[in-house]
Structure 1
Amino acid sequence: MGFRRRLRRQPPAPQAAPAPPPAPAGPPAALVLDALGRKCPIPIIMLAERIREVQLGQIIAVQADDVAARTDIPAWCRMKSQTFVREEALPQGGWAFHVRRDY
């Protein structure tokens, strides 16, 4: 004769309210460059040409969907003594790379 396990029904877990979308971290960008659809090195060239349009300490955001930008923009910041602040995923695809102008 076998053993039978009696299963108890668990009450349904309470539904949690949906979390609000995360707020952007850090200060907003003073200038946003749209390099979506452009291949390397165009996002870097756009950043290099226009970073002086923002004041020292302000943020410039470069929107790009080329995966090379994920390594190129932080590397450019290190070479040019600018601060790479963050990378943010864009809802339409790609990323926004936030760079603080330091000089």
Structure 2
Amino acid sequence: MPASDPAHIDARGMKCPWPALRVARAMRTADAVTIEADDPIAPGELEALARQQGWSLTSDRPHFFALTRPV
């Protein structure tokens, strides 16, 4: 996978904290991750994880999130 392509996680149907745990694991080796997560708690957990780690979090549509490391 080229360095510019973010890792993608399909966490639909998973209850928290699993989506956040999957992102944390993926970000060990990636600079960017996209995730689809439909648990209503996921946005808050992903936001807290991103804030704690210093990552940016964006969401351009429901249940789809992008996390990136700062450059």
TM-score normalised by the chain length of structure 2: 0.81
Deviations 1:21-54 (A, max 9, x none): xxxxxxx851110100000000000001111232
Any unmatched runs of 5+ in structure 2? Answer: none
Give 1 or 2: higher strand fraction. 2
Any unmatched runs of 5+ in structure 1? Answer: 1-27
Q: Displacement of 1:102 after TM fit?
A: 3.2
Aligned-partner Cα distance in 1 for 2:38–2:70: 25
Residue aligning to 1:72 = 45
User: What residue identity is the alignment partner of 2:12?
Assistant: L
Aligned-partner Cα distance in 1 for 2:42–2:5: 18
Give 1 or 2: higher helix fraction. 2
2:61 is the alignment partner of 1:97: no
The alignment yields a C-alpha RMSD, in angstroms, of: 2.0
2:56 is the alignment partner of 1:88: no
- Runs of 4 or more, structure 1, over 6 Å off, are none
Matched residue count: 68
The share of aligned pairs that are identical, in percent, is: 25
Question: Which has the bigger relative contact order, CA under 8 A and spacing at least 6?
Answer: 2
Residue aligning to 2:28 = 52
